[in-house]
Structure 1
Amino acid sequence: MREGFQDDLHRLTARLADMCDAAASAIRDATTALINADLGLAQQVIAADDTLDAQRAQCEEDAYALLALQAPVAGDLRRVLAVVYCAEKIERMGDLAAHIADTARFAHPSPAVPPELAPTFERMGCLDTEIAERVATQIRTGTDGFQELRQADEAVDTLHADLLAGLTGEDWGHDQRAAVTAALTTRFYERFADQAVSVAKRLEFASTGDLPR
């Protein structure tokens, strides 16, 4: 029974890693759609979010089945509960990517953000993608990556703060609507990174029993 439990837990964590890969692809494609005003790609990201929602539901169902049938304790219990927590966070990452894609869809055929801001959004998209990919690796390998990911998250926070400062500065050359759109969109990137780091933090807790600071 114990061996079967470990096999089930391995499959559960593999599904969680697949979810994180999907979130990484979503934020990468959403960024491309945002910068290039690519309606087709934006719609793909929005549609794919339903799949991620279904994956989260399946993860939760399987985790609860393990809790009910196997009654794990100590480290195994932390790992199963971590899957439930992390699946919710990763599903939220997919939602945030879909919000960015929806911003691109709504603005089409015009770009959703001014061209001079495109490099900043592209950089945030790259960082978010890298963060999600690192979390997927952490899930698969069981390695700790919270501190490294927190540094990447801080880089996203800095870009977010710098962009907001520019939107409210005297040199802003666009209307209020453009400023609001850019502010909301950069917030989606900032929150995506926050959710990913929260996953990394919970994974480290599941592994060690201590919440990293």
Structure 2
Amino acid sequence: MRQAYQTQLADLGEHGSRMCDLASTAIRDASRALLDSDLALAEQVIAMDVRLDEMRATAEDSALELLALQAPVASDLRAVVSAIWVVADVQRMGTLAIHIAKAARRKHPHSVVPMEIRPIFERMSSVAQHMAGRASQVLRTRDLQIANGMDAEDDLMDDLHRQMFTALLAPTWTHDVPTAIDLALLGRFYERFADHAVAVARRIVFLVTGDNVGGDTTVVLTPPE
């Protein structure tokens, strides 16, 4: 029975990693759809919503079963609590990628991102994809050095977010207000995606060390905005 319990606990952690891989694919494909005006790819990303919901529900059911039937303590309890946090953050990452894909679909066949601001969004996309991959790696390896290093990448995303607003507010901006609003929202989606990737890494720091390095200790079953 103890072996089955440990297997279920390990499966719960692996489930979060698989969800993170899906979110990583979502942000990669959503970014391509956005920058290339690829409607078919945008639709593929949007269709991931159902799978993400199902994966989160499965993880939460498993976690609640472990809490109810096994009454885990110490590191095992941290593993269950961390898993609940992780799936909430990762689902939100996927949802943010879906928002980006929906923006691409809404404007198709026109491009959402004007050419002069495209390099900023290309860089934001690259950083988001890298952070999602790092978050998945942290979930699999529990490497605290990688986890702690993700704050620097989040700072880079914040810098890019500020650069985007500088471009939107510059006297040389020639596009209309709806375009500026679309870009401001897209920038926010990328910035929040990075924040949730960092949150995933911090959950693993909590799991390994017991230190809650930047978050609320309350278990929240709905993803933070």
The two structures have a TM-score, normalised by structure 1, of 0.97
1:50-71 CA distances to partner (integer Å, 9 max, x unpaired)? 1011101100001111111111
Q: Does the residue aligned with 2:172 lie in a helix, a strand or coil?
A: coil
Distance 1:170 1:211 in 2: 44
Distance 1:58 1:183 in 2: 34
1:62-111 CA distances to partner (integer Å, 9 max, x unpaired)? 11111111110011101101101110110000110000000000000000
Distance 1:209 1:10 in 2: 18
Written as runs of structure 1 = structure 2, the 5 A alignment for 1:6-17 is: 6-17=6-17
The answer to whether the Cα contact below 8 Å between 2:138 and 2:147 also exists between their aligned partners in 1 is: no
Written as runs of structure 1 = structure 2, the 5 A alignment for 1:109-124 is: 109-124=109-124
Distance 2:130 2:87 in 1: 18
Distance 1:210 1:14 in 2: 22
Report deviation, 1:2: 2.5
Q: Which residue in the other structure is 2:188 paired with? A: 187
Q: Which residue in the other structure is 2:78 paired with? A: 78
Is residue 152 of structure 2 the alignment partner of residue 151 of structure 1? yes
Distance 1:82 1:38 in 2: 36
Report deviation, 1:166: 1.1
The one-letter amino acid paired with 1:117 is I
Deviating beyond 3 angstroms after TM superposition, the runs of 4 or more aligned structure 1 residues are: none
Q: Which residue in the other structure is 2:177 paired with? A: 176
Q: Does the residue aligned with 1:174 lie in a helix, a strand or coil?
A: coil
The one-letter amino acid paired with 2:209 is T
Q: Which residue in the other structure is 1:165 paired with? A: 166
Q: Which residue in the other structure is 1:138 paired with? A: 138
Distance 2:147 2:13 in 1: 18
Question: Is there any run of 5+ residues in structure 2 with no aligned partner, and where?
Answer: 215-225
Report deviation, 1:118: 1.7
The one-letter amino acid paired with 1:166 is A
Distance 1:136 1:69 in 2: 28
Distance 1:202 1:13 in 2: 11
Number of aligned residue pairs: 213
Distance 1:203 1:178 in 2: 39
1:7-52 CA distances to partner (integer Å, 9 max, x unpaired)? 1111111111000000000001000000000000001000012101
| Identity level (%) | 45
Q: Which residue in the other structure is 1:209 paired with? A: 210
- Aligned-residue Cα RMSD (Å) equals 1.0
The two structures have a TM-score, normalised by structure 2, of 0.92
Report deviation, 1:3: 2.1
Distance 2:119 2:22 in 1: 23
